[in-house]
Amino acid sequence: MTDAALAPAAGRSKGRGVALIAVGLVLLAVAPFVVYPIFVMKLLCFALFAAAFNLLLGYAGLLSFGHAAFFGGAAYFTAHAVKEWGLTPELGVLVGVAGASALGLAVGFLAIRRQGIYFAMITLALAQMFFFFCLQAKFTHGEDGIQGVPRGHLFGVIDLNQPLAMYGFVAVVFLAGMVAIHRITESPFGMILKSIRENERRATSLGISVGSYKLAAFVMSAALAGLAGATKALVFQFATLTDVGWQMSGEVILMTLLGGIGTMIGPVVGAAIVTALENYLATSDFPPTIVIGVAFMLCVLAFRRGVVGELLATRWGKRLAGRGED
Amino acid sequence: MTEAPLAPPPSNSTLQPSSRGTKPVAQALLKVRGLNAWYGESHALHGVDLDVASGETVTLLGRNGVGKTTTLRAIMGILPKRTGSVRLNGREMIGTPLHKVAAAGLGFVPEERGIFASLTVEENLTLPPVVAAGGFTVEELYALFPNLKERRRSAGTQLSGGEQQMLAIARVLRTGVTLLLLDEPTEGLAPVIVDRIGEIILEMKRRGMTVLLVEQNFRFASRVADRFYVMDHGQIVDGFAAAELPDRMDRLKEALGV
Amino acid sequence: MTMVFGVPLQALLGQLLVGLINGSFYALLSLGLAIIFGLLRIINFAHGAQYMLGAFVAYLLLAYAGIGYWGALILAPLIVGLAGAAIERLALSRLYDLDPLYGLLFTFGLALAIEGSFRYVYGSAGQPYAVPQALTGARNLGFMVLPNYRGWVVVASLAICVATWLAIEKTKFGAYLRAATENPTLVRAFGVNVPLLLTFTYGLGAALAGLAGVMAAPIYQVSPLMGSNIIIVVFAVVVVGGMGSILGAVVTGYMLGLCEGLTKVFYPEASNIVIFVIMAIVLLIRPAGLFGRTA
Amino acid sequence: QVSDNKVKIGILNDQSGVYADFGGKWSYEAAKMAVEDFGGKVLDMPIEVVTADHQNKPDIASNIARQWYDTGQVDAIMELTTSSVALAVQGLSKEKKKINLVTGAATTELTGKQCSPYGFHWAYDTNALAVGTGGALVKAGGDSWFFLTADYAFGYSLEAQTTKFLTSNGGKVVGSVRHPLSNADFSSFLLQAQSSGAKVIGLANAGLDTANAIKQASEFGIVAGGQRLAALLFTLAEVHGLGLEAAQGLSLTEGFYWDRDDASRAFGKRFFERTKRMPNMIQAGTYSGVTHYLKAIARAGTDDTEKVAEAMRAMPVDDVFAKGGIVAKNGRMIHDMYLMEVKKPEESKQPWDYFKVLATVPGDQAYIKPSESGCPLAQ
Amino acid sequence: MTMDAPGSEIVLSCRGLRKDFAGFTAVNDVDLDLRHGEIHAMIGPNGAGKTTVFNLLTKFLQPTKGRITLLGQDITKTSPSKVARMGLARSFQISATFPHLTVLENVRVALQRPNGLAHQFWRPMSALDRLNARALELIELVGLKDARNRPAADLSYGRKRALEIATTLALDPKALLLDEPMAGMGHEDVAVVSAIVRDVARTRAVLMVEHNLKVVADLCDRVTVLQRGEILVSGDYATVSRDERVRVAYLGAGHD
Ligand SMILES: Nc1ncnc2c1ncn2[C@@H]1O[C@H](COP(=O)(O)OP(=O)(O)OP(=O)(O)O)[C@@H](O)[C@H]1O
Ligand SMILES: Nc1ncnc2c1ncn2[C@@H]1O[C@H](COP(=O)(O)OP(=O)(O)OP(=O)(O)O)[C@@H](O)[C@H]1O
Ligand SMILES: [Mg+2]
Ligand SMILES: [Mg+2]
């Protein structure tokens, strides 16, 4: 039994995958010279956030309506660590990720007891509790937020105040995050997650402790969302309440939905669309909330597969994904 | 192993294809032709043909899982996907919205009885809207089923299995439908209740109602039915009148796996 | 003076009454939410927006048509309910076969769009709306001075909750609703137009939210933001009560109003978290909620 | 000496969110009015005003500000509603050596620890509100207070600053209660305030919270019962949204009122014609800030940031908004504030006729002394 | 398959098993012993409580009363996944596959955990390739080799049942509980699955629910008839089918 015979489709898509990754890398390298760098950095942070969220929704089938807590929470932790404790940026990011993971563990422990909409409601309520905590805690400075966070020197040597250095750092974090997400979804663990999403009872009957796997996925997703939030705090040099509010949780859902749930690049595309839209709407005459609300409704009614999903469903897309021939 | 479970009945079956099909029935109240039905992607009915004449009681026989329930559901239209033709009094029912089917004269007693837990016995009984005159009144039904009267204020699902079955039948009798689809009305019931239900069906027949019955309890079926159909693999494989029953007994036994 | 944990009994009674008034709004709102969830399996995220809509319609009726509070009490819920019914027909009815999450996401977008539109047109500071003439003034209850309008809110909302509960538990229409919740297909097979029933139900839920909005208009500032602030609390109420349980939603609404009221006396800083804390505890002990049916 | 041969001012604020009524799109209108009144040109170069809605998101604000500065040829950014945005943009402007002028945010941090040589704070701040409402009201007899304080940093600082001024003026605080942010129902807190017997109930909160508290206080007959309500951050636009019926008797402090003198009335009338509303202190302050910035360019003969900032500090502010205002080293524009009382419905003679001026608080009392502000520039 | 213990060893047993659902007793006082190397059938009318007994034994439901032991250990309070790891595997009455995974992946998922390949999130998917040989062996056993790369959802009902059996066998369980494994299968398939069950039962204890009495008669060493949650009678097929009560309750009066 040769492996090639077993998975011919996988082999074909691998080649295309490499090509896609190459295109992505080139885009990443060129972007700051074409588009405004801070915008690209913001986009990358949100793209990573959406991809982390999608790890949970698209691969474990869990809709969290409270992911902003991890994103914004990590931003606070990192900002505080860097500004008040004087940690180097990489350590600051680590603190943010650790904080988000701990938070994820606590929220996840309660939330995974229920499924579906119940899960969504519980995450929403718990995230809201965290929002109130951030509002009142001293270290977050209420509605001022933690401002003027120094970017500092990476490993004490690379000065992140240089825009290109900062961009490089964000790009590396983004790539590392995406690689991690890819690795997790395409791993033995990811296979178990998929099986749980497909049929939880069956998975249980095969001896899989469904709860622990879901919790692990939840914590991983929270940690990666935290990585995105921590990085964003360094990019913008502040951490504020907007990133922990439930509107942000809604926004990341929109990004994922718009791009395509359960695909690797969907959330990235969705994040790009939403961030660009928000930026564009800021100086246009269209009220942003209305446009975003309507986009949400249209997505749910008309393109539930999202931009990437709909593209993949076309013949050209199927070919690209290497599934067209069967 | 072959891919298609849709294969025709195995050739070693005692039921020859020649015996398949139906004898035409004079002025059929219900005329089913080429009925196909699916559950998701699984194809459950493969072209069912059957007729039921007005005032007749017809029983559908067959082993577990051959598609008897599915046939009733497909006639009623409570399946996501069906094709073919179902004519009631000449009127095509495929394409009719489900909530208009009752008004056309079809009543359904599901296999799982469908008693509503959050409704009392009386609410359950009076739930289906009356669609035509000539149905039983609530008082008549209470007279027929004294147990129900006694427990009219209890929640529907607190009833015993037998009482639930009575309630499910009584519920439809009130509405004045002309054709009743009964799915295994004797399942899990004590013999004395089975007897009672038999009497009720005979009484309904006397009142001129038409019944299409699915039944595993062969003895019960042979007591009430005018005609029989036998199903296998989602198709009608045999059909005969009650009078022919004794001659067919041996073949039937094998076909039904009993 | 009698003291309870260092608080005068009289003051405590007053606070309990105030908690009850708040609970009235929670109960009204969670009632509609529970009805919609119970039958349609949709988490109606737009419920807060519909509540706001009720208050705004009342304001607009007054400002542009000269129709006062009492007229608005009938008309506004009707208008909000009809708008809800239209939404159900046009959009939500297409989502029933899908994962319930899509209903949640759709109504989330709807809420954003409605609130955004009102903010765009009317700003966020809000609009004035006065207490109706007949209910101005206050009454001294001995332990507190109760504004007449507040008294009316408690009585009216209690009446509406009881009436809705009775209508659902004791009438033929309610029997259809409850039966359709359990087995919509069979109820349809009996000849009941369930799709219409669903449209009506969503309209009813929305109308209840609108009614709560009209009742709130003289007390709370009529602002596009008024709904988004309360909706999450109401979600928590429904989760604690047991999703889909109508009685649970109403009872929990009043109960949490009281709990919140007490917290405002003893530890006001926690009064917005107390509901979520209760929710977390309830979920740990009884995952299906206090009145939820299945475990 | 003007960069890109034009002077470009960006008005960045919330135009669709929670603070849309504070300054909103009307601040943009005020800025355009200022440019028109200035003649549309400075140093013979055209003046342009652009605007953006930051949706209350500091990251969007920061992103737009960067783009404006780096590629949009914007020379100064103004308005900047909400403190998280104002602080973020001020930090950025400092780094980019560009001028920013805040009218929409309240935090004293802007001219305190986080001050900038190019950052100006124009219309008001929490300290001025506290002095105006706290200090002046005590002198008017309101010497015992009960606070309803929003439970977060903004509320605490309002309460603390007000307390400082009212105690130093002989008043005392008899109690306070902290309420959650975005709390719809205040009756419980109002009952506590009512039974405390305090003469003044201070509302250390903002926006919808304040509006709801006032509306419900009127319902519970608090003002009718002899207690006074003092809103620490509340403007004309919000009184308009509340209606006089509910708001009557309320005390509040603003840096501007359109019906104060002939000049302000004329300005108010012109503003009303354009926007169908009377200006509050944020909109009038934006008008004043834009005007002062343009005057400074004219005086410096360049739009070079350092020189303009220097000129802005060097000139007194004398316009419809402020008389004899001083721009301190820490960027604080020091001007008089006004303690107002909201009229009874029967006292109001025309639309937007809402306030009586109870007292004028001199600028040097209203604002923190620059040397005590904690700003390194003013040491 | 290494165990070759004598056929009398009791693998799974329960005593006084009872399950109440809100005021209604679905299973009452059921005692069962499953022995190594034996095929035990459970029959009874619909709603008699057979599936409920399965759910109780596999801990998908918590019994109201009674005790369950697996390989001498009390598992009355153990979680379902733990019980599965201890060697108790089951199939479901409503076919239970992972519809969007391929046939190969379906079986591999079952092999992952026993081979320590369940929680590695840092390793690539190719780490699972070493399970392919065993997975294919099982797939071939149930005759699904030609469909190994197709999603399970594409299979016909009967072939899904076959896949489910392969997946269940992948756990190499000590006790195997099959809920109507032949339901929805064609005649030949029934024969194939019967052969598989007979084969695997030599080294395991098997409990199966089956309405196909021919299969029960051919395959099973012992038959328990359940009615209204209670055991009506238990014994070999000949004894049971002769029992008058069974004929009334289950076989029907027409049965000879
Ligand atoms: N809801 C469903 N989804 C998928 N498949 C179904 C469903 N209901 C029935 N089937 C399948 O369709 C086929 C026909 O089932 P049906 O219920 O019609 O059989 P039946 O003859 O009524 O059997 P019984 O005597 O057991 O009631 C069976 O193979 C069954 O497994
Ligand atoms: N979760 C539950 N809550 C309430 N009643 C239940 C529950 N599960 C099963 N029952 C009831 O318990 C009884 C036994 O059900 P069970 O599924 O065990 O029957 P079965 O013998 O497997 O029937 P079948 O041959 O149809 O599969 C039925 O009356 C059923 O309605
Ligand atoms: Mg059936
Ligand atoms: Mg069963």
- The pLDDT tens digits of the residues spanning A161-197 come to 888 888 989 999 999 999 999 889 888 999 999 999 8
Q: Is the pLDDT of residue A265 over 90?
A: no
pLDDT of residue C168: 83
pLDDT of residue B256: 64
State whether residue A13 sits within 8 Å of chain D by CB.
no
* Lowest mean pLDDT, pick from C196-205, D83-92, E112-121: E112-121
DSSP B16-54: -GGG-S----TTEEEEEEEEEEEETTEEEEEEEEEEEET
pLDDT of residue B20: 39
Q: Is the pLDDT of residue B61 over 90?
A: no
C-alpha separations of D134 from A234, D128, D270, D335, E84 in Å: 39, 10, 33, 17, 71
pLDDT band at B71 (very low <50, low <70, confident <90, very high): very high
Would you say D56 and A245 are in contact if contact means Cβ atoms under 8 Å apart? no
Mean pLDDT computed over B194-204:
82
Give residue E50 CA to ligand 4 midpoint distance, Å: 5
Asked if residue B31 has its Cβ within 6 Å of ligand 1, the reply is no
What's the CA angle centered on C43, arms C41 and C47, to 5 degrees? 130
Mean pLDDT computed over D42-56:
89
pLDDT, tens digit (0-9, with 9 covering 90-100), for A45-78: 999 999 999 999 888 888 898 999 999 999 999 9
**CB contact (8 A) between residue B42 and residue E156:** yes
Residue C138 with chain D: CB contacts under 8 Å: 220-221
Residue A209 with chain E: CB contacts under 8 Å: 79, 81-82
**CB contact (8 A) between residue B217 and residue E252:** yes
Task: Compute the mean pLDDT over every residue in chain B, rounded to the nearest whole number.
Answer: 80
Q: Is the pLDDT of residue A326 over 60?
A: no
CA nearest ligand 2 atom 17, residue:
E51
Encode C171-209: b = buried (16+ Cβ within 10 Å), e = exposed: eeebbbbbbbbbbbbbbbbbbbbbbebbbbbbbbbbbbb
**CB contact (8 A) between residue E108 and residue A191:** yes
Q: Is the pLDDT of residue B17 over 50?
A: no
Amino acid at B90: G
Q: A190: domain range?
A: 33-245
Residue D30: both structure tokens together? 């005020």
pLDDT of residue B258: 45
3-state SS, one letter per residue, for A185-242: HCCHHHHHHHHHHHCHHHHHHCCCCHHHHHHHHHHHHHHHHHHHHHHHHHHHCCECHH
C-alpha separations of C37 from A242, A249, B107, C246, E117 in Å: 30, 22, 30, 10, 41
pLDDT band at C97 (very low <50, low <70, confident <90, very high): confident
Give residue C100 CA to ligand 4 midpoint distance, Å: 28
* Lowest mean pLDDT, pick from A7-21, B192-206, D107-121, E192-206: A7-21
State whether residue A141 sits within 8 Å of chain D by CB.
yes
Residue C115 with chain A: CB contacts under 8 Å: 289, 293
* Lowest mean pLDDT, pick from A208-217, C223-232, E156-165: E156-165
Mean pLDDT computed over A275-299:
85
Pick from D180, D184, D191: CB nearest C144: D191
- The torsion angles phi and psi of C147, rounded to 5 degrees, stand at -60, 140
pLDDT of residue A260: 83
**CB contact (8 A) between residue C119 and residue A289:** yes
Residue D182: both structure tokens together? 């975005």
| Sole residue written with tokens 């309507």 | A294
A159 Cβ neighbours under 8 A, 6+ residues apart: A153, A165
pLDDT of residue B196: 77
Question: Subunits touching E (CB < 8 Å, at least 3 pairs)?
Answer: A, B
Cα–Cα distance for residue pair E155/E185, rounded to 1 Å = 12
Asked if residue B116 has its Cβ within 6 Å of ligand 1, the reply is no
Question: Of residues C2 and B31, which shows the higher confidence score?
Answer: B31
Q: What are the extents of the domains in chain C?
A: 3-285
Pick from C123, C145, C269: CB nearest D21: C123
Asked if residue B64 has its Cβ within 6 Å of ligand 1, the reply is yes
pLDDT band at E5 (very low <50, low <70, confident <90, very high): very low
pLDDT of residue C175: 87
Determine whether E116 is exposed, middle or buried from the number of CB atoms within 10 Å of its CB (0-12, 13-18, 19+).
exposed
CA nearest ligand 2 atom 7, residue:
E21
Task: Write the ipTM.
Answer: 0.80
Cα–Cα distance for residue pair A43/D71, rounded to 1 Å = 19
pLDDT of residue A324: 36
Ligand nearest to the CA of E26: 2
Q: Beta strands C3-4 and C7-8: pairing type?
A: antiparallel
pLDDT band at B255 (very low <50, low <70, confident <90, very high): low
CA nearest ligand 2 atom 12, residue:
E26
CA B98, chain centre distance (Å): 17
**What is the helix (H) or strand (E) element at residue E41, kind and residue range?**
strand E39-43
* Lowest mean pLDDT, pick from B50-59, C212-221, E119-128: E119-128
Give the start-end residues of each E strand in D261-351. Answer: 326-327, 333-334, 337-342
Query: How many structural domains comprise chain A?
Result: 1
Q: Which of D316, D182, B12 is nearest to C271 (CA)?
A: D182
pLDDT of residue D3: 74
Q: Is the pLDDT of residue A322 over 70?
A: no
Ligand nearest to the CA of E43: 2
- C-alpha dihedral (E135, E137, E139, E142), degrees to nearest 10: -150
Residue C58: both structure tokens together? 């009342």
| Sole residue written with tokens 């009305």 | B185
pLDDT band at C232 (very low <50, low <70, confident <90, very high): confident
Q: Is the pLDDT of residue E20 over 70?
A: yes
C161 Cβ neighbours under 8 A, 6+ residues apart: C27, C28, C31, C250
B13 Cβ neighbours under 8 A, 6+ residues apart: B232, B237, B255
Q: Is the pLDDT of residue E68 over 90?
A: yes
Chains E and D share 3 or more Cβ pairs within 8 Å: no
Give residue B116 CA to ligand 2 midpoint distance, Å: 16
pLDDT, tens digit (0-9, with 9 covering 90-100), for B85-120: 999 888 888 888 888 888 888 999 988 788 888 888
Question: Of residues B250 and D310, which shows the higher confidence score?
Answer: D310
Q: Which percentage of chain B shows pLDDT scores above 90?
A: 20
C172 Cβ neighbours under 8 A, 6+ residues apart: B126
Q: Is residue A273 part of a domain?
A: no
Question: Of residues C290 and A117, which shows the higher confidence score?
Answer: C290
**CB contact (8 A) between residue D53 and residue A136:** no
* Lowest mean pLDDT, pick from B45-49, D161-165, D362-366, E113-117: E113-117
Residue E192's closest chain B neighbor by CA?
B1
pLDDT of residue E251: 60
pLDDT band at A89 (very low <50, low <70, confident <90, very high): confident
Residue A234: both structure tokens together? 């360094």
Residue A250's closest chain C neighbor by CA?
C108
Instruction: State the DSSP code for D147.
Output: E
Amino acid at A278: E
Asked if residue E49 has its Cβ within 6 Å of ligand 2, the reply is yes
Asked if residue E50 has its Cβ within 6 Å of ligand 2, the reply is yes
Give residue E227 CA to ligand 2 midpoint distance, Å: 11
Amino acid at B72: L
Cα–Cα distance for residue pair D300/E59, rounded to 1 Å = 84
Residue C161: both structure tokens together? 């909750």
C-alpha separations of E235 from A166, B174, E15, E85, E222 in Å: 78, 46, 17, 30, 5
Q: Is the pLDDT of residue C190 over 80?
A: yes
Q: Is the pLDDT of residue C25 over 70?
A: yes
Q: In sequence order, which ranges of chain B are alpha helices (DSSP H)?
A: 68-76, 98-104, 121-126, 138-144, 146-150, 161-173, 191-206, 218-224, 245-256
Is the domain defined by C3-285 classed in CATH 1.10.3470? Answer: yes
pLDDT of residue A16: 63
**CB contact (8 A) between residue B114 and residue C183:** yes
State whether residue D242 sits within 8 Å of chain C by CB.
yes
Residue D106's closest chain A neighbor by CA?
A144
Q: For the domain E10-97+176-252, what is the CATH superfamily, name and number?
A: P-loop containing nucleotide triphosphate hydrolases (3.40.50.300)
B107 Cβ neighbours under 8 A, 6+ residues apart: B128, B172, B173, B175, B177, B179, B180, B181
Residue E252's closest chain B neighbor by CA?
B217
Ligand nearest to the CA of E91: 4
pLDDT of residue C79: 96
CA nearest ligand 1 atom 4, residue:
B39
Instruction: State the DSSP code for D182.
Output: T
**CB contact (8 A) between residue B258 and residue E254:** yes
Asked if residue E95 has its Cβ within 6 Å of ligand 2, the reply is no
* Lowest mean pLDDT, pick from B75-84, B89-98, E3-12, E107-116: E3-12
Residue C41: both structure tokens together? 């399996």
Q: Which of D222, D239, D250, D256 is nearest to D335 (CA)?
A: D256
**CB contact (8 A) between residue D87 and residue A143:** no
Q: How many helices (H) and strands (E) does chain A have?
A: 16, 2
Cα–Cα distance for residue pair B152/C143, rounded to 1 Å = 48
Q: Is residue A264 part of a domain?
A: no
Ligand nearest to the CA of E52: 2
CA A320, chain centre distance (Å): 24
pLDDT of residue A287: 82
Q: How far is E230 from chain A (nearest CA, A)?
A: 25
3-state secondary structure of D135: helix
Would you say A266 and A306 are in contact if contact means Cβ atoms under 8 Å apart? yes
Give residue B65 CA to ligand 3 midpoint distance, Å: 7
Q: Which percentage of chain A shows pLDDT scores above 70?
A: 91
Residue D246: both structure tokens together? 């509910």
Residue D314: both structure tokens together? 């060097």
Neighbour tally for B83: CB within 10 Å: 13
